Amino acid sequence: MVRSFFIGRALASAIAEQVEATITDSLSELGRFDAEQRERLRQFTDEVMARAEQEQQMASQTRPGGASVGEPEDLQATIDNLRAEIAQVRAAMQQYRAAAN
Protein backbone atom coordinates (compact mmCIF):
# COMPACT_ATOMS: atom_id res chain seq x y z
CA MET A 1 0.00 0.00 0.00
CA VAL A 2 2.76 2.45 0.94
CA ARG A 3 4.72 1.56 -2.18
CA SER A 4 1.65 2.33 -4.37
CA PHE A 5 1.41 5.77 -2.75
CA PHE A 6 5.03 6.59 -3.57
CA ILE A 7 4.70 5.23 -7.11
CA GLY A 8 1.64 7.40 -7.65
CA ARG A 9 3.38 10.42 -6.17
CA ALA A 10 6.47 9.88 -8.39
CA LEU A 11 4.23 9.42 -11.44
CA ALA A 12 2.34 12.65 -10.73
CA SER A 13 5.60 14.51 -10.24
CA ALA A 14 7.06 13.17 -13.50
CA ILE A 15 3.89 14.05 -15.42
CA ALA A 16 3.92 17.56 -13.97
CA GLU A 17 7.54 18.02 -15.08
CA GLN A 18 6.74 16.80 -18.58
CA VAL A 19 3.73 19.12 -18.86
CA GLU A 20 5.82 22.05 -17.61
CA ALA A 21 8.57 21.29 -20.14
CA THR A 22 6.05 20.98 -22.96
CA ILE A 23 4.35 24.27 -22.07
CA THR A 24 7.70 26.03 -21.76
CA ASP A 25 8.83 24.74 -25.16
CA SER A 26 5.52 25.73 -26.74
CA LEU A 27 5.69 29.25 -25.35
CA SER A 28 9.29 29.54 -26.51
CA GLU A 29 8.32 28.50 -30.04
CA LEU A 30 5.41 30.92 -30.02
CA GLY A 31 7.69 33.77 -28.93
CA ARG A 32 10.22 32.92 -31.64
CA PHE A 33 7.47 32.75 -34.28
CA ASP A 34 6.10 36.11 -33.17
CA ALA A 35 9.56 37.69 -33.32
CA GLU A 36 10.16 36.27 -36.81
CA GLN A 37 6.83 37.59 -38.06
CA ARG A 38 7.51 41.03 -36.62
CA GLU A 39 10.93 41.06 -38.30
CA ARG A 40 9.42 40.03 -41.63
CA LEU A 41 6.81 42.76 -41.33
CA ARG A 42 9.50 45.33 -40.48
CA GLN A 43 11.57 44.25 -43.50
CA PHE A 44 8.51 44.38 -45.74
CA THR A 45 7.68 47.88 -44.47
CA ASP A 46 11.26 49.02 -45.05
CA GLU A 47 11.17 47.63 -48.57
CA VAL A 48 7.87 49.36 -49.33
CA MET A 49 9.17 52.67 -47.96
CA ALA A 50 12.40 52.37 -49.99
CA ARG A 51 10.43 51.70 -53.15
CA ALA A 52 8.11 54.60 -52.41
CA GLU A 53 11.07 56.97 -51.96
CA GLN A 54 12.67 55.70 -55.16
CA GLU A 55 9.46 56.15 -57.11
CA GLN A 56 8.93 59.58 -55.58
CA GLN A 57 12.39 60.63 -56.72
CA MET A 58 11.68 59.31 -60.19
CA ALA A 59 8.31 61.05 -60.22
CA SER A 60 9.87 64.36 -59.23
CA GLN A 61 12.09 64.10 -62.32
CA THR A 62 9.41 62.83 -64.72
CA ARG A 63 5.65 62.77 -64.28
CA PRO A 64 3.61 59.63 -65.15
CA GLY A 65 2.90 59.31 -68.84
CA GLY A 66 6.28 60.72 -69.87
CA ALA A 67 5.46 64.38 -69.34
CA SER A 68 8.26 66.38 -67.79
CA VAL A 69 7.68 68.38 -64.62
CA GLY A 70 6.95 71.62 -66.44
CA GLU A 71 4.35 70.11 -68.80
CA PRO A 72 0.67 69.76 -67.85
CA GLU A 73 -0.85 66.27 -67.82
CA ASP A 74 -4.39 65.03 -68.10
CA LEU A 75 -5.81 64.95 -64.55
CA GLN A 76 -7.98 61.91 -65.26
CA ALA A 77 -4.95 59.94 -66.49
CA THR A 78 -3.11 60.77 -63.27
CA ILE A 79 -6.09 59.62 -61.19
CA ASP A 80 -6.32 56.39 -63.20
CA ASN A 81 -2.60 55.72 -62.69
CA LEU A 82 -2.93 56.29 -58.95
CA ARG A 83 -5.93 53.97 -58.73
CA ALA A 84 -4.00 51.26 -60.56
CA GLU A 85 -1.05 51.64 -58.19
CA ILE A 86 -3.37 51.45 -55.17
CA ALA A 87 -4.90 48.25 -56.54
CA GLN A 88 -1.42 46.76 -56.97
CA VAL A 89 -0.47 47.66 -53.39
CA ARG A 90 -3.70 46.15 -52.06
CA ALA A 91 -3.07 42.93 -53.98
CA ALA A 92 0.49 42.75 -52.64
CA MET A 93 -0.72 43.32 -49.07
CA GLN A 94 -3.34 40.57 -49.43
CA GLN A 95 -0.69 38.16 -50.74
CA TYR A 96 1.60 39.07 -47.84
CA ARG A 97 -1.15 38.57 -45.27
CA ALA A 98 -2.11 35.23 -46.82
CA ALA A 99 1.52 34.10 -46.73
CA ALA A 100 1.87 35.22 -43.08
CA ASN A 101 -1.14 33.16 -42.04
pLDDT at 65: 53
Q: Domain of 90?
A: 73-101
What residues pair up with 94 in beta bridges, in sequence order? none
Number of domains, the chain: 1
Specify if 43 maps to a domain: no
pLDDT at 24: 95
Specify if 86 maps to a domain: yes
Q: Looking at mean pLDDT, say which of 1-5, 38-42, 71-75 comes out highest.
A: 38-42
pLDDT at 59: 83
Express each pLDDT in 76-100 by its tens digit.
888 989 999 999 999 999 998 888 7
Specify if 21 maps to a domain: no
SS3 of residue 73 by DSSP = coil
Mean pLDDT of 18-29: 95
Specify if 87 maps to a domain: yes
Specify if 97 maps to a domain: yes
Number of H helices, E strands in the chain: 2, 0
